[in-house]
Structure 1
């Protein structure tokens, strides 16, 4: 995958979990653990960062990184700046945007996202909901799939509206993305839409701009949003 760059946005100032990137998973800070989960299989892996303490850590531990502006409001915007810097250094066609708080990303998922980019401008992951209670949780993002031979996103939302229902076409969206480079540049050039801002779902900015290919995986990738999640992750390593 020499034509593909894997970028992981990292910032310290998270409202719910400040300094989360330095929270320990095993004996490593989370940012290092997540970086290794990709760098063990792929060479073009970079953290997209904006904080001096993170830069100092990356330099000390030989982690590849791109320094970006601290003012970005979304991970995709931070990734967008990073690719503008990177494309002056290397040639690539595709970008995989991993999350800095998902330590258990699998090699096969990254490869599947990249494979979809041969035919689509954007790709993402989704898995089935465990049950109706999980599906009714507004913190769990839903992706509604268009019916047809290809698995294409029709909509993304958090709350089950009166005109929506959980059925075989609604899945749990996992916030890992693949982009063709030129499309990501288009993405970040667009202004956030009203619905994107209301739902706090950046993918709604381009839902009407392109077909978003959805890679189906068997179960949720455990992420770390809270200190309780961190405890769960540490129990599983």
Structure 2
């Protein structure tokens, strides 16, 4: 299995300015994330950023960095530029690792890359884990996915899907027995040819309403393979509270 891990990292953030550069145990967050990615079986780990400071921080720690354009609307568009700049073959597998996940499980990176290589009909592979808490099912910030029998995504939503009509008929918020509810984990493997095509795809109505970029692929007829794992992912860093928690984890490790 051969693949490349790319870490899109924008410095601009409304809640945490300069987020990739924030210190975690003596190293910038983007470096901690890249070090986790390097523990996967990726043949190459590249930080893709629009900020020279982020690129310089990565390089100081021996991590390959590519300075990309600043006008990309999504991380996937940034990956498309990386594919072009690195001259990757159409069949090359690229795993998108979010730059604010310094505790990402390297096994999840390997799993989505391997799944895509086993699924020639899919343009993308991603990951999900069974939902065991009703609070997650009804949380709009937790994205859910439903799949067909072949493990291909039918739909992603912020809504509680699938909807257990009978179990929820009384208005209660509970998990129905045996409900195949899956919490989507935001890690993706792509074929380079699809990444090159992605910027040309029109954003659809579902993507705009749900604000979920992966729906663009489904709305345009592309298949997404889903790996279901029981290993729940560690939370990323979106807020100051997340940052404090992550720093405490690394301080205990060190």
Cα displacement (A) at 1:23: 1.6
User: Is the contact made by 1:23 and 1:30 (CA closer than 8 Å) also made in structure 2?
Assistant: yes
**Deviations 1:77-117, CA, capped at 9 Å, x for gaps:** 111111110116x8961110011111122232222111111
C-alpha change, 1:233 and 1:177, in structure 2 (3 Å) is same
User: Is the contact made by 1:103 and 1:222 (CA closer than 8 Å) also made in structure 2?
Assistant: no
Matches within 5 A, 1:88-237: 93-118=92-117, 119=119, 120-146=122-148, 148=149, 150-160=150-160, 164-165=163-164, 168-208=179-219, 209-218=221-230, 219-237=232-250
- 1:16 maps to 15
**Deviations 1:104-148, CA, capped at 9 Å, x for gaps:** 2223222211111121321001112241112211111111122x1
User: Is the contact made by 1:4 and 1:92 (CA closer than 8 Å) also made in structure 2?
Assistant: no
Q: TM-score by structure 2 length?
A: 0.84
Q: Distance in 2 between matches of 1:160 and 1:73?
A: 27
Cα displacement (A) at 1:221: 2.9
After superposition, the CA RMSD in angstroms is: 2.1
Rg (Cα) greater in structure: 2
User: Is the contact made by 1:174 and 1:221 (CA closer than 8 Å) also made in structure 2?
Assistant: no
Question: Unpaired runs of 5+ in structure 2?
Answer: 165-174
- 2:168 maps to none
Cα displacement (A) at 1:164: 3.6
C-alpha change, 1:54 and 1:133, in structure 2 (3 Å) is same
SS at match of 1:7: strand
User: Is the contact made by 2:48 and 2:82 (CA closer than 8 Å) also made in structure 1?
Assistant: yes
SS at match of 1:117: helix
Cα displacement (A) at 1:36: 0.7
SS at match of 2:236: coil
Q: TM-score by structure 1 length?
A: 0.89
- 1:44 maps to 44
Q: Distance in 2 between matches of 1:83 and 1:228?
A: 35
SS at match of 2:218: coil
**Deviations 1:45-79, CA, capped at 9 Å, x for gaps:** 00110012112323333320111111111111111
C-alpha change, 1:64 and 1:116, in structure 2 (3 Å) is same
User: Is the contact made by 2:91 and 2:193 (CA closer than 8 Å) also made in structure 1?
Assistant: no
Question: Unpaired runs of 5+ in structure 1?
Answer: none
User: Is the contact made by 2:20 and 2:29 (CA closer than 8 Å) also made in structure 1?
Assistant: yes
